[in-house]
Amino acid sequence: MAAEGKAIAKVNDLVIFVPYVVPGDVVDLQIKRKKNKYAEAEAVKFHELSPNRAVPFCQHYGVCGGCKWQVLPYSEQIRYKQKQVEDNLKRIGKIELPEISPILGSAKTEFYRNKLEFTFSNKRWLTSEEVRQDVKYDQMNAVGFHIPGAFDKVLAIEKCWLQDDISNRIRNAIRDYAYEHDYSFINLRTQEGMLRNMIVRTSSTGELMVIVICKITEEHEMELFKQLLQFVADSFPEITSLLYIINNKCNDTINDLDVHVFKGKDHIFEEMEGLRFKVGPKSFYQTNSEQAYNLYKVAREFAGLTGNELVYDLYTGTGTIANFVSRQARQVIGIEYVPEAIEDAKVNAEINDIKNALFYAGDMKDMLTQDFINQHGRPDVIITDPPRAGMHQDVIDVILFAEPKRIVYVSCNPATQARDLQLLDKKYKVKAVQPVDMFPHTHHVENVVLLELR
């Protein structure tokens, strides 16, 4: 297995990356792209199936583009993710490492996500089998997932196994109502049509948020849209937060748009160790709630807090980690570049009566400066959870200047994490490594590393 969940075949000296196959499969390959050193191909015929295979449980497997590792037993997925972390840290990091702890697997491998987004489109994607059989659909409108590489095509999803089944029931009910009442689905090329997107958020507290996003240019469309929302409210009384957004732009981003409440509240809550976290329609929250809790417990344990420490939480997001460790620290300072996330972080501190957490919004490399440290104090512990690209060189320089006793580095990309660990290596030694699986059936893995001052 290789990066991005693909498997590797070698023909003479050419390395070929192939999706949807596993080591041990004997297949005919058709080359799709060829470069000097490698090629990409797809399996067009299976001669022999690997003994190391699982039967995919989803009817949309191999088409929707997600959950590429359903063909691997979960124990094998875990093994490859462990190897991915070890290979990245050793090959890219080239630093001295302790023994890497066994990966923490996810108790749930189905219905584990707390958020999914679906897209409406008037261009239903037909699978190659449907094209071969010349299937004719009366209805070419679809709601589901974008097809990779075809921005205006959407695969009609009947059942997705990622989120609680309520998500499937709501999506299919909205789809059927829209078909029955002849609602228009967006044409992503011409930007005509009403229904655009929907987001479903479930939570560990049993609350349920549904956001329906549409394009409205005339008054009668608003009337139709409200009738659809009323149908959803009547059909699913368990929805505690039914929201809508009017998006008349040419892209699907909603961060700059107003959110309207149709029924219920404008937020839901997540809960962790008695702490409550307010999650709004635009809030970021780890999508696997149960594993997020395990991840944060590892981070807190690695931080080794006694109650006397000043902790800096970099890339704090909505302050989940900062608030989570605050009871064990003297003070926590969270920094994040998204101002709305920082507002959420402050609200979460207030809700939980946390008085020892401060939050600042701004670009990390501009905020975390020597002046900032001189003003707020030298941290005893830094917890950092950067985006996939890792940390900016300026941020690493300031961390080296600050010289905290311990750094806890949480990462969703072991490759950029390894690069950053190499830069920190002149002053810090890696003491512990704990991979955590957040996303079963995908190649993604989270990794927590503890570094201590040499």
- Is residue 231 within 8 Å of residue 177, measured between CB atoms? yes
Active site residue 67: no
Q: Which of 58, 64, 67, 412 is catalytic?
A: 412
- 38 labeled part of a ligand binding site: no
385 is in an annotated binding site: yes
Q: Name the residues annotated as catalytic.
A: 412
Per the annotation, binding residues are 286, 315, 336, 385
Per the annotation, binding residues for S-adenosyl-L-methionine are 286, 315, 336, 385
